[in-house]
Structure 1
Amino acid sequence: MKKLFILFLLLTVACGKADNASVPPTPSTQTTAAAQAAQIDKDIVTWLQGKAVPFDTAEPDENYDDLMPLNNIIGDAQIVALGEATHGTHEFSAMKHRIFQFLVKEKGFNAIALEVPWAEAELINRYVRTGEGNPEELLAGLHFWITNTEELLAMIEWMRSHNQNPGDAPQVSFYGLDMQFPAMPMGIVIDYFEQIDPEKVSLVNELYACFQPYANYYNNKDTTKAYNDLPGEEKALCGENLQQVSDILANNQETYQASSSASEFAHVSHAAKLVTVAQKYLGQLESKSDFYGAEVRDKFMADSVSWIMEQGDGNTKIAVWAHNGHVANTTKYSTRLGAFLREQYGQDLIIFGFTFYGGSFNARPDLGIPPTSHQAAQPAKDNLSHYLQSTDIPRFFLDLRDIEPDAPATDWLFKPLKFTFIGSVYVEEYGDKYVATIQVPDDYDIIIYFAETTPTNLLPSVFQE
């Protein structure tokens, strides 16, 4: 239990609408927040109130007046990473949708990429580009409850509507970054060989055979254990077999591109790479190696962002939707997606971390159990949210760049602070433990804060899995 708890506590950072942004804090939360605010130095409160950039709502609409400060905050960045403190908070998902609309309309962004399976996400992209398919069914096909929500459905339907009449803004595309479901990518590779080099199809099938029984392993403890119980030599040989498929593609690049196209070859090459990375990741889920495979997964997601950028011939501007734990610019425990992207793109990347003080959210009590609503534990006094609630501002941006570290009103911010991290699984008896101690300004450029939050609105298919 301890091992499972640690894994999901730190790494499962892998989804009738009222205007939830206008819902006031509950009396208990309001009273607690007021009492805690009184314990914070007045200079700190005054500085936070002056530095905070309030906005009106998380709910997507066509009025962006309150978001216009983002013009200067984002500047000329080509990548905007949008985190989340939980996978099941309505305000986080709605706000990311709203920010993406702003980025498209005001900053010329033309893509969004989520921590969802790469190949399955292509079917959603086909819908937003052409209208082909049923968006609810396609969301269910992503395998993750965290994205099977009314909030994400609303964004996808907005993207489709926008693409039909983009006006002066670019058309938009939807991408996945993740590699935890390699079955469909295997099919993409095999289909490519059937069209381009049929004589090698039997060889490719033979090389992939060792991994086929374990391909869609996520959320299946038995499959994960069965693979990791295999002898080490057998797993190593399987890894070599999968890599051989990528090598066949690389060694025949000129011929294969001539028979298809450069874009098709890049597509199948990325699919083949995904399969090799998925096998390596699965082999580390049952051990502490690479902190349960976290770095392997985040490196592939960063590579996927780069792959998307490369397909755009220098014209891609992309929003990245993932958990705070992924988008963080950190190498603590393991190098995360945000750190890989920062190393490659520098200040062309802006990282937004999301946090909250009180309210509720959706999460699974354990793997294989449908998500339910949970009430958030009260933040400790050394949690960033403890300080942010002292402003008495319900929602705001906080730019952490260019802050003087040695002033009395700001010195606290540069000390290790707790930061709420809740993934897809939440064990209530450990509610106050879902935090990481971090250097907040090192990990995030901007914080988006909500005083009170509510759960995401899950689609019916979540409960039919």
Structure 2
Amino acid sequence: MDNTVTRTRLGSVVPDLRPLSGPESLDPLLERIGGARYVLVGEASHGTAEFYRWRAELTRRLIEEKDFTFVAVEGDWPDCQALHRSVTDEPGTPDDPREVLEGFRRWPRWMWANTEVLEFARWLRAHNLQRPPQRRVGFFGLDVYSLWESLHAVVGWLRENAPGQVEPALRAYRCFEPYAEDPQSYAYATRLVPEDCETPVVDLLTKMRRRADEAVPPRGDLSEFAARQNAEVLAGAERYYRTMARGGPQSWNVRDHHMADTLDRLMRYHGPHAKAVVWEHNTHIGDARATDMAYAGMVNVGQLVRERHADQGVVLVGFGTYEGEVTAADTWGAPPERMPVPPAREGSVEYLLHHATGGRTALLLLDSAGPDGRSAAEWGRESLPHRAIGVVYHPGSERRGNYVPTVLARRYDAFLHVDRTGALTPLRPAEPETGEEETWPTGQ
């Protein structure tokens, strides 16, 4: 494809490509972010080192230069709370976050237990040690999967702090107990019989919410908040697994609403001046309304945060690559492998950017003005294929299922194109067994 055609397809986005070579080359993006309170940073796969590296570089600068309050990720609340306690140096926590990351158990563990996250966590801990406890930057999980872990956490917290209120938690525990801590078994049981655990879970959540509303914990003490959040996770997970068994887009929507609601709770907890960096897959942070997800009745975190908080400043940052390698699995629950990422499909966002950049890493600011004064949003109305790789990946057949029709300038505010990428390095190559099904629809 010649340069003329490339420019026609990408419009004024091409003249606004800015080379990326180091942290200082992110200056235009920092200027674009300005005073925004929400910066959502994506990834085109869960297993690409450069996506994690550039995301960490941007986050460091947001913390150091714009005083961002916490990082919220596509991870489980209990695991990430353990990492939060380590990076904020709570009493009794390991000095090295590696010990915590190696304790992550749910598949795919490599999403967080990898060398790039470890490097960032060590930096964050060192940064926090130079700040007073009440101003230390947190690290939290937004996701919905940790049904049993969160249930155990609620029961344990109530036994220690409110023994008179343990019974609602035990009723929920007894309801789930026959499924041997296997979410898939619970999901399919609710498909075959009308009984489910919704009633005891909702009862427990109602009591935890009432208790949290009545309590006024000191700022910096997450104990009460975390207990209520584990109850929220339990309720969200129960609903997620129940709807997953019935098929359709509803389980995806349950999950993304839960993540957006968790982000809102964290912002309220941290106060009116809080600022959040969110790390998730492009499919979660890129506005769903700019893709075919909208036609399927699906929403996502990026859309919800824009709808709820546009007046407070929301910046969505996507990622993409032309070719390289990725860490992924052949089937759900399998050990991670280093896999090739073939050259991007002709006519895709990644293919066009590969030719437009001459094979280099570059930043696009998608709402800046083009050469004739029109904004990129006015130019970039064409829907183009945009690659998305999940935790399960088959390079030989990716053209049939790994591209999302996308209007780039409506989906993101900025986009980082890394032309050739490498695979993440897991801290431990072996993965634990899992009873969970692949996240609908693509393991993202």
2:264 alignment partner in structure 1: 306
How far apart are the structure 2 equivalents of 1:374 and 1:258? 50
Q: More deviation in 138-147 or 224-233?
A: 224-233
How far residue 251 of structure 1 moved from its aligned partner, in angstroms, is 4.6
Q: Report the CA distance between 1:138 and its aligned residue.
A: 1.6
Q: What is residue 227 of structure 2 aligned with on the other side?
A: 268
Residues 309 and 316 in structure 1, CA contact (< 8 A), matched pair in contact too: yes
Q: What are the residue-to-residue correspondences of 1:311-460 with 2, within 5 Å?
A: 311-331=269-289, 332=294, 333=296, 334-346=298-310, 348-391=313-356, 392=358, 394-402=360-368, 413-433=380-400, 434-460=402-428
Shift of 1:258: 7.3
> Contact between 1:352 and 1:445, CA under 8 Å: does it hold in 2?
yes
Indicate conservation of the 8 Å contact 1:140/1:461, yes or no: no
Deviation at 1:151, TM superposition (A): 0.5
**Cα distance between partner residues in 2 of 1:408 and 1:304:** 33
Is 1:120 the counterpart of 2:82? The answer is no
**Displacement of 1:74:** 0.6
Secondary structure of 2:39's match? strand
RMSD: 3.0
1:242 equivalent among 183, 190, 201:
201
Deviates more, 1:244-253 or 1:125-134: 244-253
Q: Distance in 2 between matches of 1:49 and 1:253?
A: 50
Residue 93 (str. 1) matches residue 52 (str. 2)? yes
Change in Cα spacing, 1:51 to 1:406, as seen in structure 2 (3 Å) is closer
Deviations 1:257-300 (A, max 9, x none): 27999964433222211101100101122332335x11111111
Q: CA deviation at 1:163?
A: 1.2
Pick one of 223, 228, 231 that aligns with 2:188: 228
Shift of 1:165: 2.4
Matched residue, 1:220? none
8 Å contact kept, 1:150–1:456:
yes
AA of the residue aligned to 1:234? E
Counterpart Cα distance in 2 of 1:197 and 1:464: 34
Determine which of 156, 159, 172 is the counterpart of 1:207. 172
One-letter amino acid matched to 1:233: P
Query: Contact between 2:37 and 2:276, CA under 8 Å: does it hold in 1?
Result: yes
State the shift of 1:436 in Å: 0.7
Moved more, 117-126 or 43-52: 43-52
Match of 1:191 in 2: 156
Q: 1:342 to 1:232 in 2, by over 3 A?
A: farther
Task: Please give the per-residue CA displacement for 1:97-144, whole angstroms capped at 9, x wherever unaligned.
Answer: 111111111211121111010122111011101172252232133322
Secondary structure in structure 2 of the residue aligned to 1:242: helix
Change in CA separation of 1:145 and 1:216 when aligned onto 2, cut-off 3 Å: farther
Partner residue, 2:122: 157
The Cα shift of 1:343 comes to 1.0
Residue identity opposite 1:320 in structure 2:
V
SS of equivalent residue, structure 2 residue 142 = strand
- In 2 relative to 1, CA 412–383 (structure 1 residues): closer, same or farther, beyond 3 Å? farther
> Are 1:174 and 2:139 an aligned pair?
yes
Tell me if the contact between 2:47 and 2:111 (Cα under 8 Å) persists in the aligned partners.
yes
SS in 2 for 1:414: coil
Amino acid at match of 1:419: H
Q: CA offset at residue 376 of structure 1?
A: 1.5
- 2:63 is equivalent to residue 107 of structure 1: no
Describe the shift of the 1:78–1:411 C-alpha distance in structure 2 as closer, same or farther (beyond 3 A): closer
Secondary structure of the corresponding residue to residue 246 of structure 2: coil
For the Cα contact (< 8 Å) 1:328–1:351, is it kept in 2? Answer: yes
Q: Secondary structure at the match of 1:282?
A: helix
- Percent identity, please: 23
CA distance in structure 1 between the partners assigned to 2:227 and 2:261 by the alignment: 15
The one-letter code matched in structure 2 to 1:229 is A
Structure 1 residues 40, 409: CA separation in 2 closer, same or farther (over 3 Å shift)? farther
TM-score w.r.t. the length of structure 1 is: 0.81
Call closer, same or farther: CA 1:201–1:49 in 2, change over 3 Å: closer
2:39 matched to 1:77? no
Look up the equivalent residue of 1:426 and give its one-letter code: Y
Task: Sort the Cα spacing of 1:43 and 1:277 in 2 relative to 1 into closer, same or farther, 3 A.
Answer: closer
2:87–2:121 CA contact under 8 A, matched in 1? yes
CA distance in 2, matches of 1:417, 1:205: 51
Match of 1:40?
5
Task: Output the amino acid matched with 1:139.
Answer: L
Give the superposition deviation at 1:164: 1.8
> Aligned-pair distance for 1:314?
1.6
Which of 103, 106, 109 aligns to 1:141? It is 103
Length-normalised TM-score, structure 2: 0.85
What is the aligned length?
414
SS in 2 for 1:240: helix
Change beyond 3 A, Cα 1:411–1:104: closer
User: How many Å apart are 1:38 and its aligned residue?
Assistant: 5.2
Aligned partners of 1:140 and 1:462 also within 8 Å: no
Verify the 8 A CA contact 2:7 2:14 in the aligned structure 1.
no
Tell me, in whole angstroms, the C-alpha distance in 1 between the residues paired with 2:216 and 2:61: 40
| Structure 1 residue runs without a partner (length 5+) | 1-35, 58-63, 218-222
Shift of 1:461: 5.2
Give 1:71 shift.
2.6
- In structure 2, the residue matched to 1:297 is 255
Tell me if structure 1 keeps the 8 A contact 2:102–2:428. no
Residues 376 and 409 in structure 2, CA contact (< 8 A), matched pair in contact too:
no
Q: Does structure 1 conserve the Cα–Cα contact (< 8 Å) formed by 2:6 and 2:355?
A: no
Q: In 2, distance between residues paired with 1:124 and 1:259?
A: 21
In the alignment, residue 138 of structure 1 is paired with which amino acid?
Answer: V
Code of the residue aligned with 2:280 in structure 1: it is: A
